[in-house]
Amino acid sequence: MNSTCAKYYSSLFSRGMRSLALRVLPVLLVLLATTLTACKTPPQVSEPAPVVAASLPAPAPLAVNETEDLLAYYQRTRLLPQTDLPRMLADLNVLARNPHRDVQRAIILGFMRGNGDLARAQAVLDGVVKSSDADAEHIKPLAYFLYTNYAEWRRLDEAADKQGQQLKDAQRRADQLSQKLEDLKAIERQLPARSKGAPTSPPSSPAPAGENKQ
Protein backbone atom coordinates (compact mmCIF):
# COMPACT_ATOMS: atom_id res chain seq x y z
CA MET A 1 0.00 0.00 0.00
CA ASN A 2 2.81 2.33 0.85
CA SER A 3 4.45 1.63 -2.49
CA THR A 4 1.25 2.38 -4.31
CA CYS A 5 0.83 5.71 -2.48
CA ALA A 6 4.39 6.67 -3.26
CA LYS A 7 3.89 6.07 -6.96
CA TYR A 8 0.64 8.03 -6.87
CA TYR A 9 2.18 11.06 -5.23
CA SER A 10 5.23 10.86 -7.48
CA SER A 11 3.03 10.86 -10.53
CA LEU A 12 0.98 13.75 -9.17
CA PHE A 13 4.11 15.76 -8.41
CA SER A 14 5.51 15.18 -11.92
CA ARG A 15 2.30 16.40 -13.53
CA GLY A 16 2.29 19.50 -11.30
CA MET A 17 5.88 20.36 -12.12
CA ARG A 18 5.25 20.00 -15.84
CA SER A 19 2.19 22.24 -15.58
CA LEU A 20 4.16 24.85 -13.64
CA ALA A 21 7.01 24.68 -16.08
CA LEU A 22 4.64 25.23 -19.02
CA ARG A 23 3.21 28.31 -17.34
CA VAL A 24 6.53 29.84 -16.24
CA LEU A 25 8.62 29.08 -19.34
CA PRO A 26 7.02 31.71 -21.63
CA VAL A 27 7.57 34.36 -18.99
CA LEU A 28 11.20 33.37 -18.63
CA LEU A 29 11.69 33.46 -22.38
CA VAL A 30 10.25 36.97 -22.62
CA LEU A 31 12.47 38.18 -19.79
CA LEU A 32 15.52 36.59 -21.41
CA ALA A 33 14.79 38.18 -24.78
CA THR A 34 14.33 41.60 -23.18
CA THR A 35 17.60 41.26 -21.30
CA LEU A 36 19.52 40.29 -24.45
CA THR A 37 18.05 43.20 -26.42
CA ALA A 38 19.03 45.62 -23.70
CA CYS A 39 22.59 44.32 -23.75
CA LYS A 40 22.94 44.65 -27.52
CA THR A 41 21.44 48.16 -27.89
CA PRO A 42 23.63 50.88 -26.33
CA PRO A 43 21.80 53.52 -24.38
CA GLN A 44 21.02 56.62 -26.39
CA VAL A 45 22.94 59.63 -25.17
CA SER A 46 21.41 62.95 -26.03
CA GLU A 47 23.90 65.25 -27.75
CA PRO A 48 24.38 68.64 -26.15
CA ALA A 49 22.99 71.58 -28.03
CA PRO A 50 25.62 73.31 -30.15
CA VAL A 51 27.10 76.38 -28.57
CA VAL A 52 26.47 79.42 -30.74
CA ALA A 53 29.32 81.88 -30.50
CA ALA A 54 28.36 85.47 -30.01
CA SER A 55 28.67 87.36 -33.30
CA LEU A 56 31.39 90.00 -33.23
CA PRO A 57 31.02 93.29 -35.08
CA ALA A 58 32.78 93.32 -38.42
CA PRO A 59 35.99 95.35 -38.30
CA ALA A 60 36.16 98.49 -40.39
CA PRO A 61 37.91 97.98 -43.73
CA LEU A 62 41.59 98.75 -43.27
CA ALA A 63 42.00 99.93 -46.86
CA VAL A 64 39.39 102.66 -46.49
CA ASN A 65 40.85 103.81 -43.18
CA GLU A 66 44.40 104.07 -44.51
CA THR A 67 43.32 105.76 -47.72
CA GLU A 68 41.21 108.31 -45.86
CA ASP A 69 44.06 108.94 -43.44
CA LEU A 70 46.51 109.61 -46.27
CA LEU A 71 44.04 111.84 -48.10
CA ALA A 72 43.57 113.87 -44.92
CA TYR A 73 47.36 114.06 -44.59
CA TYR A 74 47.54 115.32 -48.17
CA GLN A 75 45.02 118.09 -47.41
CA ARG A 76 46.84 119.15 -44.24
CA THR A 77 50.21 119.22 -45.98
CA ARG A 78 48.83 121.27 -48.86
CA LEU A 79 47.85 124.06 -46.45
CA LEU A 80 51.21 124.22 -44.67
CA PRO A 81 53.81 126.88 -45.48
CA GLN A 82 56.77 125.76 -47.56
CA THR A 83 59.14 126.41 -44.67
CA ASP A 84 57.54 123.61 -42.61
CA LEU A 85 57.93 120.90 -45.23
CA PRO A 86 61.69 120.21 -44.90
CA ARG A 87 61.29 119.72 -41.14
CA MET A 88 58.38 117.30 -41.67
CA LEU A 89 60.42 115.35 -44.20
CA ALA A 90 63.35 115.15 -41.79
CA ASP A 91 61.07 113.82 -39.03
CA LEU A 92 59.77 111.10 -41.35
CA ASN A 93 63.24 110.10 -42.51
CA VAL A 94 64.32 109.11 -38.99
CA LEU A 95 61.37 106.72 -38.58
CA ALA A 96 61.28 103.11 -39.76
CA ARG A 97 60.09 102.88 -43.33
CA ASN A 98 56.77 101.33 -44.28
CA PRO A 99 54.37 101.84 -47.21
CA HIS A 100 52.20 104.28 -45.25
CA ARG A 101 55.13 106.54 -44.35
CA ASP A 102 56.53 106.26 -47.86
CA VAL A 103 53.32 107.74 -49.27
CA GLN A 104 53.51 110.52 -46.68
CA ARG A 105 57.11 111.18 -47.70
CA ALA A 106 56.08 111.38 -51.36
CA ILE A 107 53.27 113.82 -50.51
CA ILE A 108 55.73 116.16 -48.80
CA LEU A 109 58.19 115.97 -51.69
CA GLY A 110 55.38 116.68 -54.13
CA PHE A 111 54.49 119.93 -52.36
CA MET A 112 58.09 121.02 -51.88
CA ARG A 113 58.46 121.24 -55.67
CA GLY A 114 62.18 121.83 -55.46
CA ASN A 115 64.71 120.78 -58.05
CA GLY A 116 64.21 117.03 -58.51
CA ASP A 117 61.65 116.70 -55.69
CA LEU A 118 58.87 115.45 -57.98
CA ALA A 119 61.20 112.84 -59.46
CA ARG A 120 62.12 111.69 -55.94
CA ALA A 121 58.44 111.51 -54.99
CA GLN A 122 57.72 109.37 -58.05
CA ALA A 123 60.57 107.02 -57.18
CA VAL A 124 59.15 106.54 -53.67
CA LEU A 125 55.62 105.92 -55.00
CA ASP A 126 56.92 103.50 -57.61
CA GLY A 127 58.42 101.45 -54.80
CA VAL A 128 55.05 101.32 -53.03
CA VAL A 129 53.19 100.29 -56.20
CA LYS A 130 55.66 97.50 -56.92
CA SER A 131 55.99 96.35 -53.29
CA SER A 132 55.02 92.81 -52.29
CA ASP A 133 54.38 93.92 -48.71
CA ALA A 134 50.86 93.06 -47.58
CA ASP A 135 50.55 96.48 -45.94
CA ALA A 136 51.04 98.12 -49.33
CA GLU A 137 48.10 96.40 -51.02
CA HIS A 138 45.52 98.70 -49.46
CA ILE A 139 47.20 101.94 -50.55
CA LYS A 140 48.52 100.96 -53.98
CA PRO A 141 45.61 102.64 -55.82
CA LEU A 142 46.30 105.95 -54.06
CA ALA A 143 50.05 105.60 -54.61
CA TYR A 144 49.50 105.00 -58.33
CA PHE A 145 47.14 107.99 -58.55
CA LEU A 146 49.73 110.26 -56.94
CA TYR A 147 52.43 108.82 -59.22
CA THR A 148 50.49 109.69 -62.39
CA ASN A 149 49.54 113.08 -60.95
CA TYR A 150 53.17 113.93 -60.26
CA ALA A 151 54.10 112.77 -63.75
CA GLU A 152 51.63 115.31 -65.15
CA TRP A 153 53.04 118.01 -62.87
CA ARG A 154 56.53 117.24 -64.16
CA ARG A 155 55.35 117.43 -67.75
CA LEU A 156 53.73 120.82 -67.13
CA ASP A 157 56.79 122.08 -65.28
CA GLU A 158 59.08 120.97 -68.10
CA ALA A 159 56.80 122.63 -70.66
CA ALA A 160 56.77 125.83 -68.60
CA ASP A 161 60.56 125.72 -68.25
CA LYS A 162 60.90 125.20 -71.99
CA GLN A 163 58.60 128.13 -72.76
CA GLY A 164 60.44 130.25 -70.23
CA GLN A 165 63.75 129.41 -71.87
CA GLN A 166 62.31 130.24 -75.28
CA LEU A 167 61.12 133.60 -73.96
CA LYS A 168 64.55 134.26 -72.50
CA ASP A 169 66.18 133.42 -75.84
CA ALA A 170 63.76 135.68 -77.70
CA GLN A 171 64.39 138.50 -75.23
CA ARG A 172 68.14 138.05 -75.59
CA ARG A 173 67.91 138.25 -79.38
CA ALA A 174 65.71 141.34 -79.11
CA ASP A 175 68.25 142.94 -76.78
CA GLN A 176 71.05 142.10 -79.23
CA LEU A 177 69.16 143.68 -82.14
CA SER A 178 68.41 146.76 -80.06
CA GLN A 179 72.08 147.05 -79.16
CA LYS A 180 73.08 146.80 -82.81
CA LEU A 181 70.65 149.60 -83.70
CA GLU A 182 72.10 151.77 -80.96
CA ASP A 183 75.60 151.06 -82.25
CA LEU A 184 74.59 152.05 -85.79
CA LYS A 185 73.05 155.27 -84.52
CA ALA A 186 76.23 156.08 -82.63
CA ILE A 187 78.32 155.48 -85.74
CA GLU A 188 76.01 157.71 -87.77
CA ARG A 189 76.32 160.48 -85.22
CA GLN A 190 80.11 160.30 -85.44
CA LEU A 191 80.14 160.88 -89.24
CA PRO A 192 81.09 164.52 -90.35
CA ALA A 193 78.03 166.68 -90.92
CA ARG A 194 77.45 167.96 -94.51
CA SER A 195 77.65 171.75 -95.08
CA LYS A 196 74.41 173.56 -95.79
CA GLY A 197 73.78 174.55 -99.45
CA ALA A 198 76.30 172.08 -100.82
CA PRO A 199 75.12 170.35 -103.99
CA THR A 200 73.62 167.10 -103.33
CA SER A 201 74.89 165.71 -106.68
CA PRO A 202 78.47 165.80 -108.04
CA PRO A 203 79.30 168.63 -110.60
CA SER A 204 79.02 167.81 -114.29
CA SER A 205 82.24 167.20 -116.25
CA PRO A 206 83.39 170.07 -118.65
CA ALA A 207 82.81 169.59 -122.35
CA PRO A 208 85.78 168.61 -124.55
CA ALA A 209 87.68 171.52 -126.20
CA GLY A 210 86.91 170.44 -129.75
CA GLU A 211 83.24 170.77 -129.28
CA ASN A 212 83.56 174.46 -128.20
CA LYS A 213 85.39 175.41 -131.40
CA GLN A 214 82.63 174.25 -133.55
| pLDDT tens-digit series, residues 190-208 | 887 655 555 555 556 555 5
Contact predicate 122/147, CB 8 Å: yes
| Confidence at 187, pLDDT banded by 50, 70, 90 | confident
> Residue range 60-64: average pLDDT?
50
**Distance between CA atoms of residues 145 and 110, nearest Å:** 13
Per residue in 2-22, pLDDT (tens digit) is 455 445 445 544 555 555 555
- Phi-psi category of residue 92: left, alpha or beta, with phi > 0 → left and psi -120 to 50 → alpha: alpha
> Is the predicted pLDDT of residue 145 greater than 90, yes or no?
yes
**Has residue 97 been placed in a domain?**
yes
Residue 73 included in any domain? yes
In a domain, 37, yes or no: no
Distance from C-alpha of 16 to C-alpha of 69, rounded to nearest angstrom? 104
User: By the 8 A CB rule, do 83 and 103 touch?
Assistant: no
Specify burial of residue 99 (Cβ count, 10 A radius: 0-12, 13-18, 19+): buried
- Greater confidence (25 vs 109) lies with 109
Contacts of residue 60, defined as CB under 8 A and 6 or more positions apart, other chains included, come to none
The pLDDT of residue 189: 84
Query: Could you report the per-residue pLDDT of 10-55, keeping only the tens digit for each?
Result: 554 455 555 555 555 555 555 555 554 555 555 555 565 555 555 5
Residue range of the domain that includes 76: 62-153
pLDDT digits (tens, 9 = 90+) for 110-128: 999 888 999 999 999 999 9
**Closest Cα to residue 158, out of 125, 118, 124, 105?**
118
Question: pTM (2 decimals)?
Answer: 0.53
CB atoms within 10 A of CB 84: 11
DSSP state of 40: H
Buried b (16+ CB within 10 A) or exposed e, 113-138: eeeebbebbbebbebbbebeeeebeb
Asked whether residue 186 is assigned to any structural domain, the reply reads no
pLDDT of 188 > 60? The answer is yes
Inside any domain, residue 192: no
76 located within any domain: yes
* CA separation, residue 186 to residues 74, 172, 173, 192, 210 (Å): 61, 21, 20, 12, 50
pLDDT tens string 68-108 = 999 999 999 999 999 999 999 999 999 999 999 999 999 99
pLDDT of res. 214: 47
* Domain assignment present for 102: yes
Please give the pLDDT value at position 13. Answer: 44
Geometric angle at alpha carbon 112, from 109 and 117, rounded to 5°: 50
Mean pLDDT score across all residues of the chain: 76
Q: How many domains does the chain have?
A: 1
Q: Supply the pLDDT for residue 58.
A: 52
Per the domain annotation, does 200 fall within a domain? Answer: no
- H/E element holding 60? none
Range scoring the smallest mean pLDDT among 26-30, 128-132, 182-186: 26-30
